[in-house]
């Protein structure tokens, strides 16, 4: 599978999120270098404070070298609900590549996840052609 297909899977996972008035609905995958899906997660999967990347990474004891995180939304760089951002969790896990569809709008925080990941040496790929699909489960927050 290529980046677009894997990211489309992550975008689909966002449909599983319980709706929230204070957080985005996001889906994420962690994928090994050989394309094997290692973990999936979505916002509020096990706990109302769960972010998608956090939920996916929490299911793995070890992240193999060369892994990629796919997220429907740019990984968060600031959050009020937990001490570590998804950007920090991705870096701590040793993820070397991040692919996302939709830049975080400034509804809750100013998103700088892509910039922070790039500054730390992570390859960041944005596929904006999937952004509309990523926005879909968040329509209630975006006034649509």
Q: Give catalytic residues, as residue numbers.
A: 53
Beta bridge partners of 97: 68, 123
Q: How many CB atoms lie within 10 A of CB 66?
A: 13
Asked if 49 and 66 touch (Cβ cutoff 8 Å), the reply is no
* Residue 32 structure tokens: 């090994």
Length, in residues, of the chain: 144
């Amino acid at each position: 599978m290529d980046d677009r297909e894997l990211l489309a899977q992550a975008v689909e996972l966002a449909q599983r999120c319980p709706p929230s008035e204070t957080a985005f609905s996001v889906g994420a995958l962690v994928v090994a270098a050989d394309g094997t899906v290692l973990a999936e997660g979505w916002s509020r999967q096990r706990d109302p404070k769960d972010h998608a990347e956090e939920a996916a990474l929490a299911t793995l004891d070890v992240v193999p070298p060369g892994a990629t995180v796919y997220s429907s939304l740019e990984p968060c760089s600031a959050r009020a609900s937990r001490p570590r951002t998804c950007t920090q969790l991705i870096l701590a896990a040793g993820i070397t590549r991040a692919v996302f569809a939709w830049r975080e709008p400034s509804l809750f925080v100013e998103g700088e996840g892509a910039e922070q990941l790039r500054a730390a040496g992570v390859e960041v790929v944005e596929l904006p052609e999937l952004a509309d699909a990523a926005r879909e489960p968040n329509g209630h927050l975006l006034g649509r």
